Structures are given as structure tokens and as C-alpha cells.
Structure 1
Amino acid sequence: MTPTEPAPGEHTLRRPELRPLWHTVHNRLSSGRPVTRVRLGPLDEVQREALADLLGLDRLPDARPSVSLVRLEEAVTELCGRTVRETVTELVGPLEDRAGERRRKEEQRAELWTWLDGHATVRAQPALADWTESCRAAGLVGGSTARTRSLLTDALTVLAALPSQAEPLPVFAARVLKGESHALDDGTRLSTLVLRALATLHDTAPPQSSADRRALWTRAGVADDDLSATVLVGGLRPAGDGPLARVARVCAETGQAASLTLAQLRAPGEFTLAADSAPVVHAVENPSILALAVRRFGPDCPPLVCTSGWPNSAAIHLLRLLAAQGATLRYHGDFDGEGIRIAAYLLDKTAARPWRMTAADYRAAVARTAHGPRSGRLTEAPWDHELTRAMTDHGTAVVEELVADVLLADLAEAMR
């Protein structure tokens, strides 16, 4: 037999009447599961005769026969010396492993969701856990873990870069997403994903209209102008002779609060601390606390920053400037669901650390105040995992104003 001649019995195996057999066997073996028998049919009379000849049967099989793989293996080996697997691979094509492929895809999906749950941005802002759950419920983009991971990576990159530096949306997108200026255009999959995350953080319904979407972007500092974004400060005495330094110092020296714009804070060289000064700067959530501090301490008010609720781009920029110049940052906010989310957000975006924001502080505040409003939707406090449990047990919010005396006492102590 020359190399080009078919093996003995090859013509028998290649009979057109046996194609249904080989395709069925190929399909079953490609399942990746153990196979002992294959069900064929319906077969016509010629196909039944061909199957009987192959298996050496003394009568025609049924129109829908069940063929033993052991018997088929014996017949094929006797005819050509090959296995059934080798034969169907030659006649039909390479075998698959659909069960193994399903396992691999399940493992890839599980790894993807584990990666998302453990991402630094999600861990730092536990309120995003509801968003990650919605991503899981939505499933894979186009059935692909790679495409889904790429999209989620971009979304997390955007979330980590917020609040924006008061840029238009295309400018922000180009800066954060390597030149992709249209990546966050209205209606894109990425834009929808990021806005869902922002809605989750702010505990609002996903935006349904273009106005709702613009409002969320503006809240995140995107498309906001650098004059509208302002931050309240008290007792802050930056060095230098620029307009910002002079305004802040005059206000501090006369016992007044100052409202600084993002434009002033971003002016090159405008904001510096004295070379020998590395102050502790306290930040609060509510303007009433800053007003009480300025009223009590006057020109001696220690450095104080107010975020006025969710910190905007001006507040974040100022706190980062302070930290970059050696200041130690401490933050206090409301003990309610939103207050915990605001604190987690600010602690993630800046070098600030909690100030009287532990479970023990909350319990002490509850013990000395009347029964307050409900806490609202609670999420984990990354800096103290016991805090949310304590707030859940009591079910009571403690707004910052109710502990103002404790905070002012801390500020007075810091002045000594």
C-alpha cells in the first residue's frame, strides 16, 4: 500500500450512508462528557444497511437505533486500525470539549466578578456594591468576559478620576481614557455604566432624561465651570501674595469664612503653606459647623474646610493641595447613610482620615441625643466595619450639628 492509498476499510467508513453516524458520534464526543451509547435516526433503509454492515449485524437495526460505543470501537479498529475518536476527527473535524469550555467560561466569569468586587475603588466606596451586583445581573457584554472586563476597567478608571477638574465631558474623557474624547458621550455603554454607579453612590434613581444625566455629571464636577465650584474655609492662612492667599488670610485674620473658587485654587503658585508650617486641617460636612467655629474662635480659628455635603471639585482640589504641602487632614460628617457614603468618597479621593467617625463615637452621640431621624440606606464604612452595624442596631441618624460641641472642643484642643 502506497502512502496515498487509503487504509483498509477506509472506503467503508467513508460511505455517504454512514455520515449521520459520524456526525452524531462527533457531536456526542464533543460534549466533553462520558459517552457509552449514541442514539441515531431516523435512518432510511440504505443507512440502516450500511450501519448493519459496519457493525456486522445479522439483521437491520431499528430506524432509531442506539449504538454501543464499545461495539463501534471494535468495528472501526478492525476495519482501519484507528480509534473512533481518530476516525471522526478525520471524517468530520477536530473534537471539541463543550463541558470543559463551559467550565472555563464559568471560571472566567467567577474570576471577573471576584476582581470587580475586590477592586480598590469598590473596596474604598462600599456603596458601589449595589452597582457591582447590577453589573453581575446584567451579564457579560456580548457574552465575552474580556469585553466586559475592559468596559468595567474603563468605568472604574472614570470613577477613580472623579470629581473632574471642571472640564467639559469630552475633555475629561480624553484626559482619563487615553484620548477617547467621545467614550462618555450620551448613550454610550460606558457612559450609562458610569452614571449608574454615580446614581448608586448618591442613592438616586438611574437617570432617565438628558437633564438627569447632565445633573449627575455636573455633581461629579464634569462640565462644571471653575467659578461655580467653590469651597468654604475658615482659619486658613496660605503663604504668598497672590489674590487667593491675600483673600484667605484677610478673612482668617478678621474671623471670617472665605469662599474660594476652583479657578483661584488652580492658579499656578497661588496656594502654598509656610515652609515651617504643617498644620492639622479639619474638614466637616455641614456649613453650620464652620459657622459655629468661626463665631467661637474668631481670628484664632484653626484651619477648617467645609465640603457642604458631597465634596465638589473645589473641595477635593483644596484638600489635595493641603496634603501635598504637608498638612494632616481630618474629616467628620453626618452619621447617616449618605454621610457614610460621603465620608467613604472623600477618604478615597484625598489623604483625609476619619475624625470622631467610629462606632464608639456614634454610640456616644446617640446616648446623649434625643431619638433622631432614620439612618437611611446604610453601606459599609471602610474605616470602621463596626460602625454600620452599630447604626443598623440603633436605626438613628446623628447629624453633625448634634455633636458640634464635641467637635469645637477638639478644635480648641488643637489650638493649644
Structure 2
Amino acid sequence: MTSADGMSTTQPAPGDATLHRPELRPLWQTIHSRLSSGRPATRVRLGPLDDTQREALADLLGLDRLPDPRPSIAVARLEEAVAELSGRSVREVVTEIVGPLGNRADERRRQEDERAALWTWLTEHDTVRAQPVLGDWVASCRTAGLAGGSAERTRTLLTDALRVLAELPGQAEPLPVFAARVLNGHAHALDDGTPVSTLVLRALATLYATVPPQSAAERRTLWSRAGVADDELSATVLVGGLRPSGDGLLARVATVCAEAGQAASLTLAHVRHPGEFALPATPVHIVENPSIVALALRRFGPHCPPLVCTSGWPNSAAIQLLRLLADHGATLRYHGDFDGEGIRIAAYVLDKTPAHPWRMTAADYRAAVVCNPYGPEPGRITGAPWDPELAEAMTEHDTAVVEELVADVLLEDLAGMEEPPLAACDGRLSSRRPNGRPERLRTFADDLQQR
């Protein structure tokens, strides 16, 4: 149709006046919601309707009386009435009046798939797989739910948290400097109370088997333990027999102590600023406990092979030194305690450095248990990524074997002697005193007292 001014106009569809009555708005909104559910709808319940709304509904459906204030309407009957009035379907009319139809069932399935994919991604992330104890952190993240209800937003936050965890231990930087370096210039991304900071601190508490920090002081302590906001002098690493060549400070300090048959305590400052530094082509062995270094120095003196000690959980000085040694061609081999925490420390070292396990297999553990069957319980056991059977063996025997109890075997390796059979142990290792204390422990303690 053309208007008087020559412009074309659109005629309203038949029945539009009836379908667009304001009194029918509750009907179309209810139908829109039901059709958007993604589930079949045969009847819809309205109400409560006032008298004018009931009259409009009666006119639409051709009823001879007013419907109830809360009527139940058959969708098929509504389809007939709408088709008769306009020649269109209920879906077409509802879309025109209310808006496009959705599909909440599909949306729910999509959201469920997104959540499942998120937690699968987090569980299988390289950082989590390398340190299985972080599986507990994953579980806590899942329990906490999605940030703002969004899987995408949660993945972004977790990606940043994992990036931070991969960079730890830090390099004695202030927290804002560390955050800016790791998180694309966002210096305040790890400030107290930020989502990423909360995620990282919860992961560190899981890693170190501590309760999540509650106060600002506890949070600072945890960051410091992870090498952030630390200083270059308080973080130190114990070494023995390390003889780098070169005229740099690190090489001179380590070599002087090695030639004297003494251990050296290197600071993070030594490691970060080593100066001229080179290494001979020799493996560097890493141990968890300083007592192993003490025994090695007692046995080998100035001829002690290169040793680095993490002194439990390695700090920034230890990790940075091991990376430095590896960068200069050293082959790193790690040994620690056979208990729950010892396995977690080993996983951490192997994840943060190019080190390889050294006598840390299930077979090594079983051989050690044969010789030392009366140890304490190992504590909470988590997986060992380098040997899946190790956690099973430790769970089966439920016995910890601290590193000192296998010191003889480790020292024989360091001496370059042929490795003894896995099940071999001498009388001193297996004998028992009348009071139940292993004779091996007494001998080890006496060894240290005689130094």
C-alpha cells in the first residue's frame, strides 16, 4: 500500500490488534519463558490474572466464559487460536512480541561442558601434573566455584595463578616488581585480596602443607618462603665439593671451601651475580639434608664430588643455583627423604630444575625398607610423577625412610663404586638393639658426633 506522499507502508497482519493487546502480555511472556526452556511444552499455567486479562484471554481462545484467575492453557489450543487469527505460529507471534526465543537447556549443557572442560584443563595442566599435591588445590578451586559464575573468567584467573606458580621461587624481588614481570606489567595483580593472589597463596599453602594464611603478616611470610619479597642475603644454599673455574666471586668462594674440604653457604647474591664461572663435565648430586653433605665431606674431604643441599624445601637461592649449574652443562641428580613431604619436595625440585631422580624409585624404597623396617609413618603420601609405583609402595609399607638411613649407598655412588644390589644391606643396617632402636640410627648419630 502507498501513502499520500508516495511512501510505501506496511499493513498490520491480520489479528495483530487482538494479539498485541496489553492484557495478553502475561500470556506471551509465560509462553516465551516455557518455549525458551528447551523442553517440550504442552500446557502453561498463568496468573494470577485480573478481570481484564481474563476477558482478553477468553476473547483470544473463543471461550464462552471467563477462565480461572490461574488458568492452565493447552498449547495446542493456543496454536489453533493464533493460526486462525493471524495464520502464524505461536513461536512467530511470541518472537515478534517478546523477543527471540532462547534455549535454556542447551545453555545449561553448554555451561556444564565449559565447567567440565575447565576442571579437566586445570587437572591436566603441566604444573599440576608435575606436582601432584596441587591436585588438592584443584579440588579447593572447584569447591569454590566459578568466579562471577563465568568459566572463561575463572580460566583467565587460573592461567595467571599457574603462570605465577611456574615462576616460583622468585628472585628476591618486591611483590609488585615480581607481579609486573610475570603478569604482563600488572604490578598490583598480586596485591592483598586480589583473586590471583588468593589463588596463588592457597596453592602455596597446599604445597607447603600449611593452613591458608589469614593475616597480612602470614601472607607476607608465605610469599617470602616462595622467594618473593625476600632478600639476597637471607636466602642461602649449602654446597660441598663444588669447584667452578673462573675468577668470579661464586667460583672463588665455592672452590676455596671445596679445596679445604669444607662446605660453603652461598647467598642468593652469589648466585645471581656469579661473575666468571665455568664447570667441569661432572654430575652434580643434590640432597635434601645437610647431614648427607657433612658425611660426604668427612669421607671425601677435599676430593668430595659436587653436592648441593636443598635443606628441605628449596629456597630461591637453591633453585637459582641449580638452574645456573644446569645452564653451564651440569647433569643434576636429586635424592631426598622417602616420606610424604620428601616426595613432594622431590617433585618440586624436578619440576623447577632439569634434575633427574637419583635412587628415588619404588625399587630403591623397597630395598631401603628391608634394611630399615621400623621407621615412622610417612605422613600424607602424594604421587611421584617420575615413578607411579613409588606412592603405592610407600602406602603398602607405611614406613618412612629418611635420607640419612641410606647415606652409605649414596656415598658409594659418589665414590664412583659399583652400585650394590637393590636388596643388599649389611648387618649394621638391619640389626636391632634391645630397646627397639635401629642400630643404623645409632651409628649415624655417632658419625656426626665424631666429626
Judge same fold: TM > 0.5, yes or no: yes
Q: Deviations over 1:136-177 (max 9, x none)?
A: 000011111121111111111110000001111111111111
Query: Which of 266, 273, 276 is the aligned partner of 1:270?
Result: 276
CA distance in 1, matches of 2:66, 2:187: 70
Q: Deviations over 1:242-290 (max 9, x none)?
A: 22212211221221111111111211533322xxx32111100000001
Query: Which of 178, 181, 194 is the aligned partner of 2:184?
Result: 178
Matched, 1:391 2:380: no
Superposed structure 1 runs of 4+ greater than 4 Å apart: none
CA distance in 2, matches of 1:64, 1:220: 64
Query: Which of 34, 40, 47 is the aligned partner of 1:28?
Result: 34
Query: Which of 82, 85, 88 is the aligned partner of 1:76?
Result: 82
Q: By how many angstroms is 1:413 displaced? A: 1.4
Query: Which of 194, 203, 226 is the aligned partner of 1:197?
Result: 203
> What 5-or-longer segments of structure 2 have no aligned partner?
3-8, 420-451
Matched to 2:200, the amino acid is V
Partner of 2:216: 210
Partner of 2:442: none
Matched to 1:334, the amino acid is D
Rate the CA distance shift 1:263–1:414 in 2: closer, same or farther, 3 A: farther
Does the CA contact (< 8 Å) of 1:17 and 1:50 recur in 2?
A: yes
Partner of 1:246: 252
Which segment is superposed worse, 183-192 or 319-328? 183-192
Structure with larger RCO (C-alpha < 8 A, sep 6+): 1
Matched to 1:111, the amino acid is A
Partner of 2:423: none
Partner of 2:232: 226
Q: By how many angstroms is 1:348 displaced? A: 0.2
Query: Which of 283, 294, 299 is the aligned partner of 2:297?
Result: 294
| Secondary structure in structure 2 of the residue aligned to 1:381 | coil
Which segment is superposed worse, 239-248 or 378-387? 239-248
Q: Deviations over 1:286-333 (max 9, x none)?
A: 000011011101111111111111111111111111111111110000
Matched, 1:321 2:324: yes
Does the CA contact (< 8 Å) of 1:252 and 1:301 recur in 2?
A: yes
**Number of aligned residues:** 413
Q: By how many angstroms is 1:414 displaced? A: 6.6
Rate the CA distance shift 1:414–1:266 in 2: closer, same or farther, 3 A: farther
Q: By how many angstroms is 1:415 displaced? A: 10
Partner of 1:304: 307
Partner of 1:360: 363
Partner of 2:346: 343
| Secondary structure in structure 2 of the residue aligned to 1:115 | helix
Rate the CA distance shift 1:242–1:415 in 2: closer, same or farther, 3 A: farther
Matched to 2:322, the amino acid is L
CA distance in 2, matches of 1:225, 1:193: 24
CA distance in 1, matches of 2:94, 2:140: 44
Does the CA contact (< 8 Å) of 1:238 and 1:245 recur in 2?
A: yes
Q: CA RMSD in A?
A: 1.6
Matched to 1:186, the amino acid is D
Q: By how many angstroms is 1:7 displaced? A: 1.1
Does the CA contact (< 8 Å) of 2:373 and 2:399 recur in 1?
A: no
Matched to 1:137, the amino acid is T
Q: Deviations over 1:356-380 (max 9, x none)?
A: 0111111111110141111111111
| Secondary structure in structure 1 of the residue aligned to 2:29 | helix
Rate the CA distance shift 1:315–1:169 in 2: closer, same or farther, 3 A: same
Matched to 2:323, the amino acid is R
CA distance in 2, matches of 1:350, 1:238: 19
Does the CA contact (< 8 Å) of 1:283 and 1:331 recur in 2?
A: yes
Partner of 1:143: 149
Rate the CA distance shift 1:63–1:209 in 2: closer, same or farther, 3 A: closer
Query: Which of 61, 69, 87 is the aligned partner of 1:55?
Result: 61
Matched, 1:112 2:118: yes
Does the CA contact (< 8 Å) of 1:378 and 1:392 recur in 2?
A: yes
| Secondary structure in structure 1 of the residue aligned to 2:133 | helix
Does the CA contact (< 8 Å) of 2:241 and 2:258 recur in 1?
A: yes
Does the CA contact (< 8 Å) of 1:264 and 1:270 recur in 2?
A: no
Q: By how many angstroms is 1:43 displaced? A: 2.5
Q: By how many angstroms is 1:48 displaced? A: 2.5
Rate the CA distance shift 1:63–1:305 in 2: closer, same or farther, 3 A: same
CA distance in 2, matches of 1:145, 1:58: 53
CA distance in 1, matches of 2:304, 2:30: 84
Matched, 1:377 2:383: no
Matched, 1:412 2:411: no
TM-score in terms of structure 1 length: 0.96
CA distance in 1, matches of 2:195, 2:45: 46
